[in-house]
Amino acid sequence: MIVKDQNIFLNSSKKRVRLIFILGMTFWLVLILRLFYIQVLNSGFYQQKASKQTLLTINLPAERGIIYDRNGERLALNLPCESFFAVPDSIRNPDVTAYKLSSVLNKSASAIKQDFLKPTQFSWVERQVEKNQASLIKKLNLKGIYSRTEVKRVYPQDNLARDLIGFTDIDNKGLAGIELAYDSILAGKDGKAILQKDALGRGYELKPYPIVKSSNGKSLVLTLDSQLQWILEVELKKAVDSTSSQSGMGIFIDPHTGEILACDYYQPGKDVPFKNRVIADQLEPGSTFKIVVAAAALEQNLKKPEDLIYAEMGKYKIGKHTLHDVKKKGWLTFREAVVHSSNIAISKVAKEVGKDLLYDYAKRFGFCEPTSIDLPGESKGYISSPSRWSEIGLANIAIGQGVAVTPLQLIRAYAALANGGILMKPYMIKTILDENDEPIMQFQPTPVKRAISQQTASVLTDFLQEAVESGSGQNAKLSDFSIAGKTGTAQKAKVGSRGYEIGKYIASFVGFFPSANPQIVGLILIDSPQGEHLGGHVAAPVFKKIVTKLVSLPENPIRKLQTQKESFTRVEPDFQPEESKVGLVNLVYAEEEQPQPKVMKTASVTKESQVTTENSEKMVVPNLVGLTAREAMAILNNKKISFQFSGSGLVSKQIPKAGSPLQGKTKVYFECQNPK
């Protein structure tokens, strides 16, 4: 019996052992299969999941290219700054962390905490933090809050040419102007790096993962002259504010190359616009358009300067309409009709020219078509088909009404007069530089076609010079050298409907100088001035002030453009004026300064005259203290003494002292300060 019980016990024990063994083997088999599934069959998924928990990919932004003016002055550059980000799962106490940060950043603690609670491994706390704030945040020594060095786009000349240059967002992506148009060139290519959290979650360190280095953007050298741009902006603002005008525009270009030297739009109370109004806005040109009629009449031998035209004593009936002149005139020569801007006389000339020919010459001067400038957002203007012109319509178009042009188109037409009849393509980008400021692409002037003969351009220049000397543009007259120009006063067309706004005008003046050898063409437009509204009284004085300030600079653009010459290939125009039989000629254009790498890296704060000293042993240093910078320069230039100066205003200090003998190639240094 005992033996039987023992056998039963042994059998049951064996069964239990066998069951335990089977269960154990099953467990281990399942575990091995599961591990095989995780480690082998689905290893990629879990590796990726683990990486998401411990690794973080950080973008390494490329440094944006610098924007220079034609003389190497920096208009847009980058400065290092610190940004702070959070790794939410490393923050032990979100409430305390958010509270401490809020006191430094002046932000709501609840808003900061919400960012910590987002299901993400990375969250920006604050970007591009000021230096003092960054120091305070670091002193807090908050776990889960880390800093990263970034670059911030800054504009050292403040708002100079901002509507032209544009701006970027916080990620340095171009949003407007040149920053947007050339974003692909300026931006470069971003890189990336991988960060790894350590086992205790105490921080992020670079792991030996391959780092893709960023490729910095290319830099741009503009045709812009920052000195002329500054003068334009200051004087344009003064004019608009003093006349309570709605807005004002100005543009200056080199007529021989088409380079934009300065360009501005100013509207009181408005921030930087997202479009360049000088190339986008369309307006009626008024009397400045009369050169098209005059050029057509001269080219086709329909008129000579001395031909007489009766101006109807200021009132001229055309069908049911009456055309008026500001001043009552009787008989005028063709020259006088242009000089005194007679609407009636010019409309009679337009009738002789005819609709089709007038339309043809408008297109020769580049109206009705884009200029193809290297900037976005350009409008092409509008002139209806001549088949739709009535008799009064022809007269209106002749005096610049019923025509839509951009300021850039208008100034390009006058540039063709100034350079001898060649229509040039305007451009803004002079050179593209690599990371070492070495030129990799340089842009050259592009002649488009011959608009008129050189002889016709010369005759019209004489007309426009006389218009400034004794005609409607006398308020632009300078005593130092001659200016050729034309005034314009246009009724302001309604936006979105027919007709004109009552009592609102666009006053304009376009001119070039020196008229004997033009180097710069400028256009000033004042929109809706209060009170006096004639272009000769409102816009011409602004032009004069700008030119006066420009020529007083020790290194003004006129002097540079006059002393450097470069020859370009001859023009192949689309057509040749039939009557004039103008031959194609090799044109000589003003040479553009080629940017030097050293100039791009540093901009001098002093200006130096390139004047040699002659017979200095017989001279003594003049007393300059108390004189204006301009007066001091005039004295030293007259005595042929080399000099260097800094500052602006009145001379406060000079070396050597007044009365000191000049020996050899002595140079005079003087410092200017604005009087308090």
C-alpha torsion sign, points 129, 130, 135, 139: negative
Query: Which of 193-202, 386-395, 396-405, 429-438 comes out lowest in average pLDDT?
Result: 193-202
Going by DSSP bridges, is the β-strand pair 588-590/565-567 parallel, antiparallel, or unpaired? antiparallel
Average per-residue pLDDT for the chain: 81
- Among 93-102, 381-390, 462-471, whose mean pLDDT is lowest? 93-102
Percent of the chain whose pLDDT exceeds 70 = 81
pLDDT band at 576 (very low <50, low <70, confident <90, very high): very low
Of the candidates 336, 325, 344, the one whose C-alpha atom is nearest the C-alpha of residue 395 is: 344
Instruction: Please name the residues in contact with 623: beta carbons below 8 A apart, sequence gap of 6 or more.
Output: 654, 658, 659
Q: What tokens appear for 111 in the block?
A: 């808003």
What pLDDT score does 30 carry?
A: 81
Lowest mean pLDDT among 132-136, 152-156, 175-179, 222-226: 132-136
Mean pLDDT, rounded, for 191-220:
66
Question: Burial level of 651, CB count in 10 A (0-12/13-18/19+)?
Answer: buried
User: Burial level of 58, CB count in 10 A (0-12/13-18/19+)?
Assistant: middle
Spatial separation of the C-alpha atoms in residues 297 and 189, rounded to whole Å: 56
Average pLDDT on 158-172 reads: 87
pLDDT band at 255 (very low <50, low <70, confident <90, very high): very high
More confident residue, 460 or 589: 460
In the predicted structure, residue 197 carries a pLDDT above the cut 60 = no
CA distance 527 to 302: 35
Predicted confidence at residue 602, as pLDDT, reads 33
* Three-state SS sequence of 561-611: HHHCEEECCCCCCCCCCCCCCCCCCCCEEECCCCCCHHHHHCCCCCEECCC
> What's the average model confidence in pLDDT over 192-205?
56
Give the C-alpha separation, 519 to 506, whole Å: 26
Reduced to 3 states, what is the DSSP secondary structure of residue 510?
strand
Of 253-257, 300-304, 589-593, 594-598, least confident by mean pLDDT is 589-593
Confidence tier at 9 by pLDDT (50, 70, 90): low
Higher-confidence residue: 199 or 403? 403
Check: CB of residue 228 under 8 Å from CB of residue 252: yes
The H or E element spanning position 651 is strand 650-655
More confident residue, 509 or 123: 509
pLDDT computed for residue 300 by the predictor = 96
Predicted pLDDT at 273? 59
Determine contact, residues 401/491, Cβ cutoff 8 Å. Answer: yes
| Cα 648 to Cα 587: distance, rounded to the nearest angstrom | 39
Mean per-residue pLDDT, 466-474: 93
Question: pLDDT grade, residue 52 (50/70/90)?
Answer: low
E-assigned strand segments in 231-298:
247-253, 260-266
Q: What is the pLDDT of residue 304?
A: 95
Select the more confidently predicted residue: 106 or 356: 356
Q: Are 641 and 666 in contact (CB under 8 A)?
A: yes
| % of the chain beyond a pLDDT of 90 | 45
Mean pLDDT on 586-595: 31
- Does pLDDT of 579 surpass 90? no
- pLDDT at position 598, please? 34
Element (H, E) at 21: helix 2-36
Which of 49-53, 222-226, 271-275 is predicted with the least confidence, judged by mean pLDDT? 49-53
Which pLDDT value is given to residue 655? 81
Q: Considering only 127-141, 204-218, 380-394, 442-456, which range has the smallest mean pLDDT?
A: 204-218
Q: Give the C-alpha separation, 5 to 11, whole Å.
A: 10
State the pLDDT at residue 558. 65
Question: Which of residues 592 and 471 earns the better pLDDT score?
Answer: 471
Q: What is the pLDDT of residue 6?
A: 61
* Least confident range of 128-137, 197-206, 295-304, 516-525: 197-206
Using alpha carbons, list the distances in angstroms from residue 501 to 148, 277, 351.
56, 20, 28
Residue 312 to residue 487: CA distance in whole angstroms: 21
Taking the CA atoms of 569, 574, 576 and 577 in sequence, report the sign of the dihedral they define: negative
- Higher-pLDDT residue of 546 and 195 is 546
* pLDDT band, residue 149 (cuts 50/70/90): confident
Highest mean pLDDT among 196-210, 372-386, 597-611: 372-386
Between residues 185 and 42, which one has the greater pLDDT?
185
3-state secondary structure of 276: coil
| pLDDT at residue 20 in the model | 81
Burial of 484 (0-12, 13-18, 19+ CB in 10 A): buried
pLDDT classification of 5: cutoffs 50, 70, 90: low
Residue 463 scores a pLDDT above 50: yes
Integer Cα distance of 290 and 306 in angstroms: 18
- Predicted pLDDT at 675: 56
- Give me the residues paired with residue 262 across strands: 252
Tokens of 242: 């003093």
Residue 586 has pLDDT above 50, yes or no: no
Say whether pLDDT at 88 is over 60.
Answer: yes
Phi and psi at residue 599, in whole multiples of 5°? -65, -40
pLDDT-wise least confident of 111-115, 255-259, 346-350, 439-443: 111-115
What's the pLDDT score for residue 81?
Answer: 84
| First CA to last CA distance, the chain | 129
Whether residue 609 has pLDDT greater than 60: no
Contact 490, 509 (CB under 8 A): no
